[in-house]
Amino acid sequence: MNSSGSFAAPILVVSLFAAVLPRVSIAQAASHPAPTAWRLPLRGAAEYERTCDAKSGVADTMAAARQVEAKDKVPDGLLPHLVPTPWLCQGELTADQRAVADEPRDLRDVLRALAFDLRLDGDVKLRFRRIVPFGDLVVTGKAAPAGTDGAQTFTFAVATEDPEVRPGEGKAALGRFIRPLCKHDAVGTVTIERTFDAAQGVVTKFRGEVSLAYEEKKGSCRRLLVSDAWTLKAVHQNQDADFRGDVRKAIESGAGWLQREFKDLGRKHLQDQADGERTYGSGRIALGLLTLLHAEVPHDDPVVVAAFDELRRRELVDSYSLGVALMALAEWYTAPGEADLLRSGQLAAPRERKLSEADKKLAGEWLAKLLQNIDTRSKPGYRMAFNYTAGARFDNSVNQYGLLGLYAASLCGLEISPTTWRATAAYQLDVAVPHEGRTLPLELTTYKELAAQAAAAGDAATRTRSAPVQVPTRGYAYHTPDRPAYGSMTAAGVGSLVISRFGLLRSGQNKADVMPKIDAGIQSGFAWLGAEFCVRNNPGYIDRADDNFYYYLYGLERTCELHGVALIHGRDWYYEGGLQILSRQQKNGAFASEHPRGLLFDATCFAVLFLKKAALPPVTGG
């Protein structure tokens, strides 16, 4: 990438530590020697070209359905709208580098997991959990050893079983939230043809097909046929020149699409609702401006000037719109390169923004409105959380935007009382989902540590590391902690705690009695993100796996950047997430949404903000 270009893609330095959690079991025949392991570069990836297809057919009986020709469209709900990308990241592999560790949530990723599992030899039994709407998929059979050319073909039986309790999940939650989603008992087969190149340490190609038959309703059975074929294109080092160049182009193209959208501020999705209770149209204008500014579109660009003038004229009401508007205003006054200085440690804390008198007044008005939009069941002096407007409700999503608004207001020189920061932390700590006994030996690597590791790589053999401490894994649900946690809400909850911690530090409350609890809560949230780490979907609660994909990744980026985290449990969250996002950009610059009717505007903003690493590290004193 040409570093002199106007769109600078963020770059991470390669670190020395990687760890993954094995999540499947296999019974391997002792009569065959262990196959060779994958040999991908540390935190690098293998890129493939693919051809995939999915069809279905209907018959009167299960027996007939297993034989019916599959030539019809697949009904909604059987496969996610966004097709998983044809990549394998080194961080996804088990510790012995012989199989994919991350649990698939998609039948296409089941094929990938089988094709990339180098342990398949002899008697095989694998369980892929929570493949909705079928439940746990159990794959059984016998695999013959690979030929001398590395080619191997196997066909296994597939059947669904009742879902098992996962680590960190209680039996009551399994019955209440998971079993109702597993609607169909299915049987069928899966066939994999693959070739493994032992010299390169990589699967060079595979073709997989899974056929499942299930009773759709009484008197009607359906066959689902999913096929996928991958051919190796290249093996990449972590964040190589190709990746950085693709990021730069994606940011530029995405920003160009948003600029074209802003040429008509009368578009329906940029208008507020008639009832005036939620000003989401104005919030989208603010979100688009935040994105364009991070994408380094000049302040004097006519589209940006017009959009800011429109935003200043709008009457903002809800916490989401107010929070994002404050973020956009703070970014307008942010000096170039400040985030890089913070990550490197050259700058101890964010600089206070010097707003014009008019904008300082406007920011104060927005902040005053935001502080009124609280959950009225709480006591602001003790426990405080944000609602859309004042009312007896709470959710972790809107609450994070309230906290982001407070953070931006603080950067703009507006005073937030220490009591407010303490109260928001107290509320957030109370709504974490119980860990049910699950812990993780969490290791978070900061940017400063990453740089130090790279500098000391020459004497790596002489250095030692202390064992990571076991940390309880506590995620966040949308509303209350009696529901399953998932990725986007956990990122929101942890990010909110990080901001509350920043506020207390900025207020001189670094020794506040709540601070150890906040630190423990942040660690527990990151432990959940480490235990469930996945960027191919929204991890955790399977009912949310196919929703809010870009929102989750933007939340992950924001939380990691706010806390200065470069690696989660050895995984390069930015590189792995970036590979997923880049493949979903359309020719016009917009990013494909999770659902056919989803807004391209929101998806594109979140995608560009992730790629640009838009969150500004607050430097939390850690």
Quick: pLDDT tens for 40-78: 999 999 999 999 999 999 999 999 999 999 999 999 999
pLDDT for 528-581, tens place per residue? 999 999 999 999 999 999 899 999 999 999 999 999 999 999 999 999 999 999
Percent of the chain past pLDDT 70, that is, above it, reads 91
Residues ≥6 apart with Cβ < 8 Å to 363: 326, 329, 355, 409, 412, 414
Residue 259 has what pLDDT?
98
Asked whether the CA dihedral 582, 587, 593, 595 is positive or negative, the reply is negative
Angstrom distance (rounded) from CA 414 to CA 407: 10
Query: Taking 70 as the threshold, does the pLDDT of residue 342 lie above it?
Result: yes
Mean pLDDT confidence for 392-414: 97
Residue 185 has what pLDDT?
96
- Max avg pLDDT among 340-344, 403-407, 612-616: 403-407
Query: Taking 70 as the threshold, does the pLDDT of residue 459 lie above it?
Result: no
Which carries the bigger pLDDT value, residue 600 or residue 34?
Answer: 600
Residue 367 has what pLDDT?
98
What is the overall mean pLDDT for the chain? Answer: 90
- Tokens encoding 305: 């000037």
Mean pLDDT confidence for 206-221: 96
Buried b (16+ CB within 10 A) or exposed e, 398-434: bbbbbbbbbbbbbbbebebeeebbbbbbbbbbebbbb
Write down the domain spans for the chain: 45-236, 252-456+469-611
pTM beyond 0.85, yes or no: yes
- CATH architecture of the domain with range 252-456+469-611: Alpha/alpha barrel (1.50)
Mean pLDDT confidence for 315-332: 97
Residue 35 has what pLDDT?
52
Buried b (16+ CB within 10 A) or exposed e, 48-82: bebebebebbebeebeebbebebeeebeeebbbeb
Residue 295's nearest CA partner among 553, 610, 565, 594 is: 610
Residue 457 has what pLDDT?
66
Query: Taking 70 as the threshold, does the pLDDT of residue 463 lie above it?
Result: no
Q: Match 């030692």 to its residue by tokens.
A: 464
Residue 618 has what pLDDT?
67
Q: Are 184 and 223 in contact (CB under 8 A)?
A: no
Query: Taking 50 as the threshold, does the pLDDT of residue 622 lie above it?
Result: no
Residue 278 has what pLDDT?
87
Query: Taking 80 as the threshold, does the pLDDT of residue 510 lie above it?
Result: yes
